[in-house]
Structure 1
């Protein structure tokens, strides 16, 4: 209902059954609740006409706020305050002291969020929810971090620890779910209630939407396509998860850089996102210029990416797969090997009915994701 009001505002109650498919009674009851909670405001039409004046609904710009925080690889929090209209009210990037454990990380994040709230011009009572993007294997339902490459003391009730410290409800999700939400509400997946996002970043990651909301399994996990095995037993490379042959060890930006620069990249810090991306662009430049060694690296990445998506499509029938990349030339240099793997791995009728589209990564995804969280968690 909030999606319909946001897209079509100002909109009358009588239009909402057609726009949402919900019964008129449900519309009446739910909109009354949203108005009472300050999420939606009413306004009588000013144009004079015969009959009873209509009442129009819009999302309240001065209503509740949601705070979003995304943990970066360099011990900073990207913090965004947004209203339910999806308008960004404030953004900042705040450093925190490097933690030695997952419990210390939760404490540092909570302290930094509390500082951001105190320093803001917003009353604490106005903040409805806090969403935190964590680079980890996360149970978003229970708020538990089950695996984080930099710490061994998991599982850990991360959301509860932060919520107890700041006195506000907290949702934690892996960062790619934030990116999928940004695409759903503001990007290439607008109008698609069911889709899968595959993000080609420092690691390969994924998130899925179903019926307009993030899709998770019984234990709150989304699809972990990065750790589907695509390497053969003869050349399976070691993954940071401890397994071998995971798709991320062939098709992520970091793995592409390692393979392309060899010994020169052996000491490269995977947390240094700027340096890794700069080397990736350099390698991409070489591949586009016809360098055979660089092209071979991207052929490998394309083959493994196509292989893992072929397996996923057969299992999940996602309808739409968005592949978010840092540079659209990536599609061109992997296309031949990528398409060959898809055509080899999927029955033609299934592949024909699946839309696979490359899209440029949103640079302000953390802000857009938080703006969308404001609407989904309201």
Structure 2
């Protein structure tokens, strides 16, 4: 009997932590809610809900949010996640900028800093410096204490290998296994999370935007680079070594246009910002890309119409491969095209899709705007917080995900 005590205690502890995570997630996504509503939503007993919410209230992770009538009985107390318990920082590293945003636990923006990258500025140490300076700037501007920051999430171009060093392979940046996590960790003790920008944008759209409520979705990012977040069963599909979603480097024309990855015929060379501008014979540096492309789109330039055709074919490949409920078009180029050309994009998807998967899908514009990558990066931090780990004050030896 004595030999079973250890495993039994661990099982009870794990069950309690699992209940904590379930309740936290429900309060975050569906709160405020009463204890009775939480019991109904989660299937947990009233006693379990009372015990766990008591712990969460005691730790100030959850607070009371007023009363609600209960069909003639005593009013019920509503609970919600304490928006000011902690903060999440999200970072978007793009071809043109490093954007840093600080959010409370309502995901309300509380501070922002941005650094423009000069043309060709790709040095990983310099970009890591911009990230760290941006973190300092948003903390100073918001007045948030570093002790209250739950972590820093960073969305970067290319393939990210998980691990403490967060090795990044981004051929467009000339990064070959750059230890970006290690570069950041040298300048901050905050918990760090590094992932591909399209994947984190996909999670943001799934949680708060045009992918909300979907179990199976594809969220595409079209900017200077092109990528996709593939959501299957409500989770991001990562593949064998986290490189799934490199949709921009699927081949749309065998032996076609040169791509900045070194290959030929990649979708990015046809629907990315520079691909469209090059086809239109317009020369524009990173600082003028958005303005120049906007002019072409508004004018209905033939290069844009051609790109819409390629985009429709590329999206149809995703529809035929993954059978999603929804395809969400995001990124600044994607949002620009969707605003002016969504009907043509849908027509091109229909033309190139099989009937059955196309009947199941809706093609929509992203709902979170061009800053969705920074928000998505912050959700990496919040996702971990919602697992029900003890509060930061109780675990000052930070567990670094990278």
The alpha-carbon distance between structure 1 residues 313 and 31, as it changes in their structure 2 partners (threshold 3 A), is: farther
Shift of 1:14: 2.5
C-alpha contact 1:302 1:335 (8 A) present in aligned 2: no
Equivalent residues, number: 356
**Which residue of structure 2 lines up, in the alignment, with residue 304 of structure 1?**
310
> Alignment partner for residue 189 of structure 2, among 167, 185, 191?
167
**Which residue of structure 1 lines up, in the alignment, with residue 105 of structure 2?**
84
For the residues of structure 1 that align with 2:47 and 2:260, how far apart are their CA atoms? 52
Taking CA–CA contacts closer than 8 Å with sequence separation of 6 or more, which of the two structures ends up with the larger relative contact order? Answer: 2
C-alpha contact 2:312 2:345 (8 A) present in aligned 1: no
Q: Is 1:313 the equivalent of 2:319? A: yes
Q: Helix, strand or coil for the counterpart of 1:167?
A: coil
C-alpha contact 1:9 1:58 (8 A) present in aligned 2: yes
Q: Helix, strand or coil for the counterpart of 2:328?
A: strand
For the residues of structure 1 that align with 2:340 and 2:100, how far apart are their CA atoms? 31
For the residues of structure 1 that align with 2:142 and 2:88, how far apart are their CA atoms? 13
Taking structure 1 as the reference length, the TM-score comes to 0.80
For the residues of structure 2 that align with 1:335 and 1:47, how far apart are their CA atoms? 47
> Alignment partner for residue 353 of structure 1, among 350, 353, 360?
360
Superposition RMSD on alpha carbons, in Å?
A: 3.3
Equivalent runs, 1:137-176 vs 2, <5 Å: 137-139=159-161, 143-152=166-175, 154-176=176-198
**Which residue of structure 2 lines up, in the alignment, with residue 291 of structure 1?**
none
Unpaired runs of 5+ in structure 1? 288-293
Shift of 1:167: 0.3
For the residues of structure 1 that align with 2:68 and 2:361, how far apart are their CA atoms? 47
Q: Map Cα deviations across residues 134-173 of structure 1 (whole Å, 9 max, x no partner).
A: 2232235663212242234x21232233134210110112
**Which residue of structure 2 lines up, in the alignment, with residue 252 of structure 1?**
272
For the residues of structure 2 that align with 1:352 and 1:190, how far apart are their CA atoms? 19
Shift of 1:372: 4.0
For the residues of structure 1 that align with 2:269 and 2:174, how far apart are their CA atoms? 20
> Alignment partner for residue 284 of structure 1, among 297, 300, 303?
297
**Which residue of structure 1 lines up, in the alignment, with residue 336 of structure 2?**
326
C-alpha contact 2:209 2:366 (8 A) present in aligned 1: no
C-alpha contact 2:316 2:349 (8 A) present in aligned 1: no
C-alpha contact 1:80 1:370 (8 A) present in aligned 2: no
**Which residue of structure 2 lines up, in the alignment, with residue 12 of structure 1?**
34
For the residues of structure 2 that align with 1:318 and 1:349, how far apart are their CA atoms? 11
Q: Which moved more, 1:194-203 or 1:26-35?
A: 26-35
Shift of 1:95: 6.0
Q: Is 1:339 the equivalent of 2:355? A: no
Unpaired runs of 5+ in structure 2? 1-22, 386-402
For the residues of structure 2 that align with 1:350 and 1:228, how far apart are their CA atoms? 20
For the residues of structure 1 that align with 2:174 and 2:250, how far apart are their CA atoms? 22
Equivalent runs, 1:1-378 vs 2, <5 Å: 1-20=23-42, 27=49, 31-32=53-54, 34-42=56-64, 45=67, 54-74=76-96, 76-94=97-115, 101-114=123-136, 116-117=138-139, 120-139=142-161, 143-152=166-175, 154-233=176-255, 236-260=256-280, 262=281, 264-265=282-283, 268-269=284-285, 271-272=286-287, 275-287=288-300, 294-295=301-302, 297-324=303-330, 325-327=335-337, 328-342=339-353, 346=354, 348-359=355-366, 362-366=369-373, 368-369=375-376, 372-373=379-380, 375-378=382-385
